[in-house]
């Protein structure tokens, strides 16, 4: 409980995956301490009971907190009404971030543009909060905004609680270490590129190989059944498509075949004669009603089972379990200068793009999500994305 308090669990509203990471860490440390004490004190206790106690601890904590939030929500005690001070895209991005996790309880009661702020008025902030029945002000100004200093000083002098959501212009929000300087109103953020660290890269590779090997053993019967079904549909079992990997090197990305033979010719003929299909292909590089897909292939794509052979690519160290979606050479220009981030790691079977809407998301947003993932990589992010992949596949969000 002291650890949770130190991490802000009882004073702040932490996003789900940040809270789960802390709870899991606490559970592992408690398991080690508990086991050590049992050994030193010669306490007779079942090892299985000891292990299960701390394995189920995170689940119990999350369930209890969810029930508590639900009860508080029924009485209107969990909602935290906020007022965003800002305008334009910055305000829209802040609002989207606040509403992205409903469990946090944030709601945006209003948006006040910077031009409508009067920091010299003694009652201005109190009136804003009272007018919107809000409890928290959130500033989303650019650092260069001339009003920022006056507004923040006004809030500080009047003891008004507020939060700041600065626009970082694509900087890696989780890749910085903060340093404070005693007696100075400034701080320094030092960037650390996690994926550039040899230990981090080795950890990611080891995690990929171990998990991929275990998964292949577990799904071997399913793998064989799908292979037989595809073979009965006239044609080869696997389809190897040339994709761009780490460092710009190409490799054969494996899938269960889900298309008819000579699919490229079918696509060219369709695009040439159907403007709507041509537009859809130019925007998403996918077609919702793709005539190239076979009957068994449609089922495989809907469930994403066609991508199971990519576990072999992971064992070959050509792909990762989690990473940017593998692209073809013709899609490289869509990344522009950000292609350097794509080249920095191996493409993944799943990724932030897939769990954020998958093929329902435009290519520009896809590039942004892939870039964010590389800039802010941690092993915990990989675990979180893998955990979110199964619900995304089962719900068929964006699957084609």
Nearest to 371 by CA among 329, 323, 303: 323
pLDDT, tens digit only, all 400 positions of the chain: 899 988 889 888 888 888 999 999 999 999 999 888 888 888 777 888 888 888 899 999 999 999 999 999 888 889 999 999 888 888 888 888 888 888 889 999 999 887 778 877 778 888 889 999 998 888 887 655 566 777 877 887 777 878 888 766 666 666 666 767 666 666 666 667 788 788 889 999 999 999 999 999 999 999 999 999 888 877 788 989 899 999 999 999 999 988 877 677 777 877 777 787 778 777 766 777 777 778 888 888 888 888 999 999 999 999 999 999 899 998 899 888 889 989 999 999 999 888 876 555 677 888 888 888 988 898 999 999 998 888 777 666 544 4
Residue 133 · residue 101 · CB < 8 Å: no
The helix, strand and coil proportions of the chain, stated in percent and rounded to the nearest 5, come to 55, 15, 30
At residue 123, φ and ψ (nearest 5 deg) are -105, 5
The answer to pTM > 0.75 is no
Please tell me what DSSP assigns to residue 201: H
């Amino acid at each position: 409980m002291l650890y949770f308090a130190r991490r802000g669990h009882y004073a702040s509203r932490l996003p789900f995956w940040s809270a789960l990471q802390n709870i899991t860490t606490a559970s592992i440390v408690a398991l080690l301490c508990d086991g050590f004490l049992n050994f030193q004190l010669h306490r007779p206790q079942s090892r299985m009971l000891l292990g299960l106690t701390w394995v189920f601890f995170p689940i119990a904590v999350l369930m209890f907190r969810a029930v508590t939030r639900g009860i508080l929500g029924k009485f209107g005690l969990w909602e935290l009404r906020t007022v965003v001070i800002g305008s334009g895209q910055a305000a829209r991005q802040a609002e989207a971030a606040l509403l992205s996790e409903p469990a946090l309880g944030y709601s945006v009661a209003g948006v006040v543009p910077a031009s409508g702020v009067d920091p010299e008025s003694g009652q201005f902030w109190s009136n804003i909060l009272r007018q919107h029945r809000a409890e928290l002000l959130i500033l989303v100004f650019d650092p260069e905004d001339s009003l920022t200093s006056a507004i923040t000083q006004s809030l500080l002098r009047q003891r008004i609680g507020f939060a700041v959501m600065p626009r970082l212009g694509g900087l890696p929000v989780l890749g910085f270490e903060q340093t404070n300087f005693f007696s100075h109103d400034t701080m320094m953020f030092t960037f650390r590129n996690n994926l550039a660290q040899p230990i981090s890269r080795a950890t990611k590779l080891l995690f990929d190989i171990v998990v991929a090997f275990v998964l292949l053993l577990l799904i071997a019967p399913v793998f064989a059944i799908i292979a037989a079904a595809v073979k009965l549909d006239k044609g080869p079992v696997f389809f190897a498509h040339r994709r761009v990997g780490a460092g710009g090197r190409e490799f054969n990305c494996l899938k269960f075949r889900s298309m008819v033979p000579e699919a490229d010719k079918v696509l060219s003929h369709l695009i040439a004669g159907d403007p709507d299909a041509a537009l859809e292909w130019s925007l998403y590089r996918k077609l919702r009603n793709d005539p190239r897909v076979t009957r068994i292939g449609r089922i495989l794509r809907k469930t994403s089972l066609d991508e199971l052979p990519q576990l072999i690519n992971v064992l070959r160290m050509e792909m990762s379990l989690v990473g940017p979606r593998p692209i073809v050479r013709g899609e490289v220009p869509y990344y522009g200068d950000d292609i350097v981030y794509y080249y920095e790691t191996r493409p993944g079977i799943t990724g932030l793009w897939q769990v954020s809407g998958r093929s329902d998301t435009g290519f520009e947003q896809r590039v942004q999500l892939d870039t964010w993932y590389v800039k802010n990589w941690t092993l915990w992010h990989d675990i979180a994305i893998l955990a979110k992949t199964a619900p995304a596949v089962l719900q068929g969000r964006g699957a084609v």
